[in-house]
C-alpha cells in the first residue's frame, strides 16, 4: 500500500495552485531521474492536494479558445481570469463551491497506464456520488462523470483533466458541490455542446458540508488506488 501526503491548501487562485503543483511534480521527476544512477532506488513521494479556486476559466492544451464565449473586457467585468493550462481536455470553469483534487503521484507505484488512471479517478467520484444515492456514469468518448447518460437530460457533475510526464501525474478532477453553475453559461464546457452541467447541491436540493464530501472522496480514493493518506489536514 502506497503512502500519499495529503494537503488541503484551501482557496487559491489558479496560477498559485498550478505553480505549487508543478513544484511537487518536478520534485518527483527529479528524484526519478536521479534514481537511474543509483544502485538503491530512492522512494519518490506521492501527494494529493485539495483546493478551491477563485473564479477562472482554464483551457486545456488541446482545447479551442472559441469555446470561451466572453471577451477580455467581459471577463474583467465579471471578475473572472483565464488561463491556458498544460492539462488535457478543453475548457472548464473553476470557482468557489467546487472540490478540486490534484493527485501528484508516481504511477510506477500504482499502474503505468494513463487510460486506467483516468478511469480509476472517475470510479472514485462515481463511488462518492453513490453515497448520496446518485448514479454517476461515464460517457463513451468523454472524460468525466455524468448523470443520466444516454438520455436528453444528461448532465456533467465532475470534470477531469490531467498531465503526465515520466508516469508522474498532475492536475486532476473538479467536482461541483455548491458551485454557481451560471459561470458555465459563458463557455462550451469541455467543448461539448448540448449537455448541461450540474452540482451536488442542485441534485440533492440542499447545501452540503464540503469536509464531509472530501472525506468520502478520500475513503474511495484509498480503496480504488490501494493507498494510505498521511498528514490529513482538511479545511472546510
* CA-wise closest residue to 170 among 233, 93, 92, 107: 107
Alpha-helical segments (H) within the chain: 14-35, 72-78, 114-130, 200-204, 210-225
Per DSSP, the three-state class of 233 is coil
* CA-wise closest residue to 190 among 159, 146, 163: 159
The CA distance from 121 to 131, in Å, is 16
* CA-wise closest residue to 155 among 117, 127, 184: 184
The CA distance from 168 to 161, in Å, is 14
* CA-wise closest residue to 99 among 208, 222, 231: 208
Contact between 107 and 168 (Cβ < 8 Å)? yes
The CA distance from 100 to 85, in Å, is 15
Given 190, 200, 217, 218, which residue is catalytic?
190
> Quick check: is 158 catalytic?
no
Task: Indicate which residues carry an active-site annotation.
Answer: 190
Amino acid at each position: 500500500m502506497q503512502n500519499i501526503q495529503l494537503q488541503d491548501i484551501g482557496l487559491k487562485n489558479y496560477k498559485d495552485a498550478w505553480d505549487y503543483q508543478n513544484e511537487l511534480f518536478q520534485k518527483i521527476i527529479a528524484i526519478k531521474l536521479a534514481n537511474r544512477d543509483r544502485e538503491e532506488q530512492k522512494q519518490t513521494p506521492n501527494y494529493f492536494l485539495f483546493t478551491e479556486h477563485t473564479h477562472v476559466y482554464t483551457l486545456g492544451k488541446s482545447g479551442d479558445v472559441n469555446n470561451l464565449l466572453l471577451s477580455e473586457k467581459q471577463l474583467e467585468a465579471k471578475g473572472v481570469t483565464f488561463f491556458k493550462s498544460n492539462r488535457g481536455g478543453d475548457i472548464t470553469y473553476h470557482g468557489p463551491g467546487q472540490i478540486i483534487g490534484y493527485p501528484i503521484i508516481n504511477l510506477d507505484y500504482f499502474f503505468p497506464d494513463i487510460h486506467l488512471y483516468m478511469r480509476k479517478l472517475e470510479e472514485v467520484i462515481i463511488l462518492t456520488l453513490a453515497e448520496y444515492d446518485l448514479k454517476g456514469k461515464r460517457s463513451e468518448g468523454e472524460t468525466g462523470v455524468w448523470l443520466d447518460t444516454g438520455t436528453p437530460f444528461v448532465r456533467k457533475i465532475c470534470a477531469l483533466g490531467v498531465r503526465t510526464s515520466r508516469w508522474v501525474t498532475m492536475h486532476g478532477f473538479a467536482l461541483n458541490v455548491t458551485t454557481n453553475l451560471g459561470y458555465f453559461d459563458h463557455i462550451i464546457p469541455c467543448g461539448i455542446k448540448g449537455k448541461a452541467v450540474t452540482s451536488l447541491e442542485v441534485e440533492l436540493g440542499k447545501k452540503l458540508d464540503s469536509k464531509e464530501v472530501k472525506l468520502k472522496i478520500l475513503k474511495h480514493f484509498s480503496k480504488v488506488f490501494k493507498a494510505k493518506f498521511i498528514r490529513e489536514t482538511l479545511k472546510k
